Structure 1
Amino acid sequence: MSGGRLSTRLSRLLNMVPYFLANPGISAQEAAAELGVSTKQLMSDLNQLWMCGLPGYGPGDLIDLSFSEESIEVTFSAGIDRPLRLTSIEATALLVALRSIADLPGMVDPTAAHAAMAKIEAAIPGNRPADAPAPGAPVEAPAVAAVRHALAAGHALRLVYYSASRDAVSERVVDPIRIVLVDNNSYLQAWCRQAEGARLFRLDRIQEATELDEPARPPHHATDEAAALDLFSDDPSVPLARLLIRPDYGWVLEQYPMHRMSVRPDGSVEATMRFATLDWMARLLLGFGAGVTVLGPAELVTAVRERSRAALAAYENLEVA
């Protein structure tokens, strides 16, 4: 499970105990609708939550729940309903985590995050006094604020978006689903009406966002958390590069959206990768040097070969000069 999916689920689990304490006896269907998950996912979360609690992990330490699809009730909260007293080390760790999240566009309301940080800092012995003015929260980009507001209101969005892979700016209407964290970047997961598919839009590449006065209606299958977090959808209309990756360049497979196809006896890996423009892909592959060899398509092989020759010729001219 990716870090983005884990953090999303952890946040949901932490909110479930106070939610069900405030809504005793609520049905699984009602709770799932309010929490924005499927009934199946909710029941899976409840089974997970049932095994959580305080160190010791005995009957008096674990969260206890009485749940079925008809009714859910917390019978023992394991202290989650009580204010938490943090040690200095715990408070510092929480501050670091809050700062890292607050620095990511769209993940949280920056004003609320910085207010929480100010309260935690004031509670740490020897730190800033509680009545001292808190540093101002950074101003949130208008586009990011519009995305968060539309998501909360359940409205569609019109985006002006810069695609790095295509090196182009496009305008499209999307139905927001959620904001996710992938590889330390925050993305809007949404149903793109133009592409007719679930897509992720990196928030710092959204140049403009306009909330529309119409409800967001992503297809039901697009809202499934497990199915829709693929950052680079396998769109058959986008060209496919076939690559041979040397054994000592295995890190490339982790850093780029490649699909492993087979492993050769010498340990090299055959993989594929979708790309939008020939020039962009050729530049990327040249940066890998001899670590990655292009197997196809023919036009990409030609582009890489021609760029390599041009680069060698430029070096030769420098040596002569």
Structure 2
Amino acid sequence: MSSNTSIEWCDHTFNPWTGCTKVSPGCDHCYAEGWAKRSGQVQWGPQAARRRTSSANWNLPRRWNAQAEAFRAQHGRRQRVFCASLADVFDNAVEREWRDDLATLILNTPGLDWLLLTKRIGNAGAMLGEMFLNGPPDNLWLGATICNPDEADRDITKLLRVPARVRFLSMEPLLAHIDLRLKCPNWSDDIVMDPETGAYECCRACDYTGIGNDIDWVIVGGESGPGARPMHPDWARSLRNQCEAAGVPFLFKQWGDWRAPQPGEEFDTSLGMAQRVPAFIVAHDGSVHCFHNDQASAGSTPMLRVGKKSAGRELDGRTHDEFPS
């Protein structure tokens, strides 16, 4: 029953096929593309064929499912399987027959919770309808990757249109401040957010307070790897506060390669990449500077590039490992 992944929010990863195409700013430094280039197992991009994985790999979920009762007795919960960490289930370049085979596998492993995370949430409704004629099963969780406000405005409503027992957001890499407010029919634009809690005071007619009625889980993380972009701490804090106010489970996955300086830690942003530990000023809009200026004054913070392991995953002195029930 050992895990085959180091990803904090799942027990296993399963790739029915590999290969993908960049469709989002979050894809700019895709770790899966890097893996593909290093391994030589699959080409990447719009003209490249997707590669189905082996029969032995396809048998792994059945093995995990056979251990479902023992796992639940030991851990008090079900196993979570992240499906397609090196691909996208709802990729147009994937053959429908492969998705049908995946649907059969999901139906035949009811002891597992299948987490389908996509950057193509607009395809999910139609493709899931083809995969599951009676609707998605209860062991399917559907997630959308959201990196910036444009994606939030465009894709969260698409996610909410698709039936799923659990809907979640993976906000990694988080590239900007994001307001997860989903407007109710009686919303008033003059309502403001409480800066202390991240909560909105909605109209008294409906008591709607934000995402809690629609989104079941939020995962947040900074970027790691070559070219990693720093995440402003206030972006993560705001999402934590919004989730807390709305009663939504919040998981802080990682800072990524960058973190704020620790008390008493020496750094010099004017040297930028020249010093042993690179240091920069990150403005609230995400722009990066070597020194304070008009653009990088209000709300800016120094960030040091120390690597994913050293940066850790504590937010304001604690880990956040909340999951939907």
Q: TM-score when scaled to structure 2?
A: 0.26
Q: TM-score when scaled to structure 1?
A: 0.26
The answer to which structure has the higher helix fraction is 1
**For the pair shown, which has the larger CA radius of gyration, 1 or 2?**
1
The answer to which structure has the higher strand fraction is 1
